[in-house]
Amino acid sequence: MGTISLPVWFVVVIAVLAAIGLTDRLLMPGVRWFFRRRANRAIELLNERLSLKIQPFKLTRRQALIDALMFDPEVIRAVEEEARESGSPRQVVMEKARTYANEVVPAFSHYTYFRIGTRLARKLSRMLYRVRLGNSNDKALAEIDPNSTVVFVMNHRSNMDYVLVTYMAASSSALSYAVGEWARVWALQSLIRAMGAYFVRRYSTGNALYRKVLARYVHMSTMAGVTQAVFPEGGLSKDGKLRPPKFGLLSYMVGGFDPKGGRDVVFVPVGINYDRVLEDRVLTSSAAAGEGERPRFRFNPGVLMGFLGRSVMQTFRGRWFRYGYACVSFGKPISMRRYLEENELDFRSLPDGKLHGEMERLGLMLMDEVGRSVPALPTSLVATVLLEDESRPLSLFNIKTGVFNLINELQKAGVHVHVPRNDHDYLVEVGLRMLILRHLVLVAGDSYRISPNERDLVAYYANAIAHQVGRGAGEGKSAGSAAGKPDEADLPPEPVAQSK
């Protein structure tokens, strides 16, 4: 027999490949089983303490969800229609639909959400704000059928909303958000997908195929019981007022809802308010854009690094403090099944025109409930009083009188008013301090007036509760609206951030 000589490098490569093959076939199945078992056990422990359980759909492998979406009959029909109208080969259109599915479908990781995401959310929220819970509505939330799909419907004041609500709801459930394209930046989008969020193209009305893929994913996740959080306004408020709701995601969730099916859909209104919104100047500046122009909120690393740098310098100098209060308040849950029964409706049998009208009616009703849930905070209260008589300077006595009267009016209307330390005088002090240190209000002796160059920004904070002013006392008082409850967690007086 002859001898075959092989180079040493070739033998090494063959040996490495053989070792990899043996590891994959013999060792990896056992390793995967071990970690899968630990992961399943961790999820079981999580579900024991969560009031809204993590559904199997949320834990399904991402590729399996994408495949299920691609073989959905409605998506297939949309692909065939797109191919017929555009003249493109069916396979090309199918790949386009798969691209959309890859963009939409999240990759939820319970470890990322609860060990990283919620901890970061808690630290960031408490670092920036004094976080408070307004009306918790615990009794009503506890009465929700555990088999229901719960959808938290919220107003949208800041990109901090995602962080704040994730922190506040961490003990109840893992939320799935619809996130705009602003978050599709390198590294950040992977973290957001791992948190269970899905991306939505804001301006995609003319792309029927994309809208169908998005609609089917939202419908599938809703029918599977995934707890979700949505912002009906579709974007941040630029003037502080509640924006008219959009009905796209809402129609995807309940357009084919079966009132006699096994799973109800329950909407929980959530109101959010801040003493200071991080993006307030950007938002009020964009409000001056021409009618019909799209606001451009682009992620700018330079702006972010500048903000962080100034914050670090203020921290070293002992001049950085939190941005006042941030408060989340929960409204009365609304059962979709009960809503349809009371109105004798079945969305599945309605023609398109009638269905659109009913979706609009439902969306406006939900947005009204969200508006009722928005808590009143010191900055909004003081800003409202200053704007009511902005033609002349107001004394501290005038401001206090106006704020006290406004609090009484809001409480009679069932609005949650956060009164720090149960001290109305301190509430006025906190609100004025925030406005003065940001140079939004000018002081001359014992008189206060709005800075002429900052009226829009003061109005932005007053508009947060403008929809609640004048509601009247005939609507009853909610369980959590009492402002006289002592706030033991409040800290001693401290100045707020001194940057504009």
Angle separating helix axes 90-104 and 73-86, nearest 10 degrees: 130
CATH of 100-276+300-373, one of 1.20.90, 3.30.70, 3.40.1130, 3.80.10: 3.40.1130
- Provide the mean pLDDT of the chain: 83
Rounded Cα distance, 247 and 264, in Å:
19
Enter the tokens of residue 491: 């800290």
3-state secondary structure of 356: helix
pLDDT tens figures, 32-74? 555 555 555 655 665 576 777 788 888 888 999 999 999 999 9
Please enumerate in sequence order all residues whose Cβ is within 8 A of that of 245, keeping only pairs 6 or more positions apart, or say none.
232, 233, 234, 363, 364, 366, 367
More confident residue, 313 or 220: 220
Task: Give the per-residue pLDDT at 232.
Answer: 92
| Confidence class for position 473, pLDDT limits 50, 70, 90 | very low
Task: Give the integer Cα–Cα distance in Å for 255 and 249.
Answer: 10
pLDDT of residue 409: 94
Task: Take residue 496 and report the two structure tokens written for it.
Answer: 């707020």
- Per-residue pLDDT, 12: 84
Quick one: pLDDT band at residue 184, thresholds 50, 70, 90? confident
- DSSP 8-state class, residue 80: H
pLDDT number for residue 361 = 93
Spell out a b/e string for 31-41, using b for 16 or more CB atoms within 10 Å of the CB, else e. Answer: eeeeeeeeeee
Q: What are phi and psi of 85, to 5 degrees?
A: -75, -35
Q: Average pLDDT for residues 423-445, to the nearest whole number?
A: 94
User: CB within 8 A of 483, min separation 6: which ones?
Assistant: 407, 411, 416, 417, 418, 419, 422
User: What is the per-residue burial (b if ≥16 Cβ within 10 Å, else e) of 83-93?
Assistant: beeeeeeeeeb
For the cut 60, the answer to whether the pLDDT of residue 215 exceeds it is yes
pLDDT in tens, 422-431: 999 999 999 9
Nearest-angstrom CA–CA distance, 23 and 9: 21
Whether 290 shows a pLDDT value over 60: the answer reads no
Residue 38 has a pLDDT of 57
Question: CA 281 to CA 287: how far, in whole Å?
Answer: 10
Give how far Cα 457 sits from Cα of 262, 291, 467, Å. Answer: 48, 20, 17
CA gap 39, 31 in Å, rounded: 12
Residue 495 has pLDDT above 90, yes or no: no
Please say if the pLDDT value at position 26 is more than 80: no
**Section 209-237 average pLDDT:** 92
Q: Does position 196 have pLDDT exceeding 60, yes or no?
A: yes
Q: What's the DSSP call for residue 489? A: T
Task: Classify strands 325-330 and 130-133 as parallel, antiparallel or unpaired.
Answer: parallel
What pLDDT is recorded for position 411? 93
Residue 288's pLDDT band, with cuts at 50, 70 and 90, is low
pLDDT of residue 307: 65
Q: Note the pLDDT of residue 47.
A: 59
Express each pLDDT in 126-145 by its tens digit.
989 999 999 988 888 888 88
Q: What mean pLDDT is predicted for residues 239-266? A: 90
Number of alpha carbons in the 13 Å side-chain half-sphere of residue 478? 26
Check residue 475 and give its pLDDT. 42
Dihedrals φ, ψ of 142, to 5°?
Answer: -70, -25
Measure the CA–CA gap between 393 and 409, rounded to whole angstroms: 23
Rounded to 5 degrees, what are φ and ψ at 388?
-65, -30
Specify which residues 274 forms β-bridges with.
326
Q: Does residue 404 carry a pLDDT above 70?
A: yes
What is residue 297's predicted lDDT score, i.e. its pLDDT? 52
Q: What mean pLDDT is predicted for residues 387-394?
A: 91
pLDDT tens per residue, range 219-229: 999 999 999 99
State residue 170's pLDDT score: 84
Q: Does residue 309 register a pLDDT over 70? A: yes
> Residue 400 pLDDT > 70, yes or no?
yes
Does pLDDT of 8 surpass 90?
A: no
Give the model's confidence band at 280: pLDDT under 50 very low, under 70 low, under 90 confident, else very high. Answer: very high
* Residue of 257, 6, 247 lying closest to 149 (CA atoms): 257
Confidence of residue 457 (pLDDT cuts 50, 70, 90): very high
Least Cα distance to 366 among 332, 343, 417 occurs for: 332
User: Degrees (nearest 5) of the Cα angle 361, 73, 146?
Assistant: 55
Reported confidence tier of residue 253, pLDDT bands at 50, 70, 90: very high
| Range list of H helices, 129-230 | 138-142, 160-168, 188-194, 208-223
**pLDDT at 476 (0 to 100):** 39
Question: What is the C-alpha to C-alpha distance for residues 223 and 170, in angstroms, rounded to an integer?
Answer: 22
Least confidently predicted of 295-299, 315-319, 398-402: 295-299
**pLDDT of res. 498:** 35
Name the least confident of 10-24, 283-297, 435-449, 467-481.
467-481
What average pLDDT does the segment 87-113 reach?
91
pLDDT digits (tens, 9 = 90+) for 261-270: 889 999 999 9
Quote the pLDDT of residue 499: 35
The pLDDT value given to residue 56:
84
Please report the pLDDT score of residue 353 as a whole number.
Answer: 84
What is residue 217's predicted lDDT score, i.e. its pLDDT?
A: 95
Q: How many residues does the chain have?
A: 500
What average pLDDT does the segment 381-401 reach?
94
What average pLDDT does range 358-382 have in this prediction?
A: 95
Residue 35: predicted pLDDT: 52
Residue whose structure tokens are 């920036």: 128
DSSP string, 81-114: HHHHHH---HHHHHHHHHHHHHHH-----HHIII
Contact present, 54 and 43 (Cβ < 8 Å) = yes
Q: What is the pLDDT of residue 221?
A: 93
Per the CB < 8 A criterion, the answer to whether 235 and 295 are in contact is yes
Q: Give residue 94's pLDDT.
A: 95
In angstroms, the first-to-last Cα distance of the chain is 87
pLDDT (0 to 100) of residue 494 = 35
pLDDT in tens, 154-177: 999 998 999 999 998 887 888 898
For 237, the token pair is 């408020």
Domain spans in the chain, listed from the N-terminal domain onward: 100-276+300-373, 376-500
